[in-house]
Amino acid sequence: MASVICDSVLVTGSNRGIGLELVHQLVDLPKSPGHIFAGCRDPGGPKAQELRDLAQKHQGVITVVQLDTDSPDSIKEASNLVESKLNGKGLNLIINNAGVNIPGSLVETGKKEMVDSYTTNVVGPMLIAKNFHPLLCKAAAQFPQSSMSCSRPAIVNVSTLLSSITRCPENFYRSPMYPYRICKAALNMLTRCLAEDFRKDGILVASLHPGWVRTEMGGPQAPLTTAESVSGMIKVITSLTEKDSGTLLDWEGKNIPW
């Protein structure tokens, strides 16, 4: 990794899976961010032990932040905490990684499955963008002349190939997943809207598909380890430029059609 990725980053859903690996790899970069805010909905709970250990090892760099992305109050409190820790500086990068896959064929999917999935996969990232926008703008003001990149302010929404309407016919029967597909397609629209809205502020916004990854969500059959996926994701994130804002890319940097 040639240059410093960014000064500060917030990763949501960072106590396990892809989110935890993101924190691992970000802190191990030769020029790692000075502040890594690791969002986690239950920082004191048993599922956050590995994250707590990592934060303990990198005190002063990793801050574990209570962040339940389903809760507007939790998001607000997290933004206040991050602001106070940044001590007058802005926040460079948000990786909206927290997500749920409530798998469902049409028969299995009802209102609850749709609403729960939408709350976490769409409303959460939207409220995070809204609440952290002032901090992203503050970071933008630190680099008034430079062009868009992840070292300037950026939001990366972790999406999926299964969100692609164009690619749906080739993978639908393998994984119908109505709530997941529909909500991640909506997340892509959030990416597109924010990319337009925040262009004036110099904030880049992109959706990123991590590949099919061996996590609780991805399952044991998935071909990619979290290490492989995340090292690809970090390469892609560090190479994002203005032309990528408002697009969906995969972990190898290939464009996925909407």
Ligand X SMILES: NC(=O)c1ccc[n+]([C@@H]2O[C@H](COP(=O)([O-])OP(=O)(O)OC[C@H]3O[C@@H](n4cnc5c(N)ncnc54)[C@H](OP(=O)(O)O)[C@@H]3O)[C@@H](O)[C@H]2O)c1
d(CA 104, CA 177): 5
Residues 251 and 212: beta-carbon distance below 8 Å: no
**Would you give the binding string for ligand X spanning residues 166-205, x where CB under 6 A is met?**
----------------------------------------
> CB-hemisphere CA count at 13 Å for 245?
23
Query: Does position 216 bind ligand X by CB under 6 A?
Result: yes
Q: Which is nearer to ligand X, 12 or 32 (CB)?
A: 12
Q: How far is the CB of 101 from ligand X (least distance, A)?
A: 6
Q: Which is nearer to ligand X, 15 or 151 (CB)?
A: 15
d(CA 224, CA 133): 33
Q: How far is the CB of 224 from ligand X (least distance, A)?
A: 7
Name residues whose C-beta falls within 8 Å of residue 121's C-beta, 6 or more positions apart in sequence. 99, 100, 180, 183, 184, 186, 187
Q: How far is the CB of 161 from ligand X (least distance, A)?
A: 7
Q: Which of 18, 86, 194, 236 binds ligand X (CB under 6 A)?
A: 18
Query: Does position 222 bind ligand X by CB under 6 A?
Result: yes
Query: Does position 17 bind ligand X by CB under 6 A?
Result: yes
d(CA 153, CA 22): 18
Return the structure tokens found at 127: 């409220």
Query: Does position 104 bind ligand X by CB under 6 A?
Result: no
d(CA 60, CA 68): 22
Query: Does position 36 bind ligand X by CB under 6 A?
Result: no
DSSP state letter for 10: E
Q: Which stretch binds ligand X (CB under 6 A): 22-30, 62-70, 82-90, 194-202?
A: 62-70
Query: Does position 33 bind ligand X by CB under 6 A?
Result: no
Phi, psi (deg, nearest 5) at residue 49: -60, -45
Query: Does position 120 bind ligand X by CB under 6 A?
Result: yes
Q: Which stretch binds ligand X (CB under 6 A): 1-9, 68-76, 103-111, 166-174?
A: 68-76
Q: How far is the CB of 72 from ligand X (least distance, A)?
A: 12
> 155 vs 96, 177, 210, 245, CA distance in Å?
7, 26, 15, 9
Q: Which is nearer to ligand X, 48 or 148 (CB)?
A: 48
Place of tokens 């959030």: 190
Q: Which of 43, 47, 118, 253 binds ligand X (CB under 6 A)?
A: 47
> 234 vs 57, 84, 151, 153, 252, CA distance in Å?
22, 27, 12, 15, 10
Query: Does position 99 bind ligand X by CB under 6 A?
Result: yes
Q: Which is nearer to ligand X, 15 or 32 (CB)?
A: 15
Given the rule CB under 6 A, which residues bind ligand X? 12-13, 15-19, 41-42, 47, 67-70, 97-101, 120, 158, 160, 209-210, 212-213, 215-218, 222
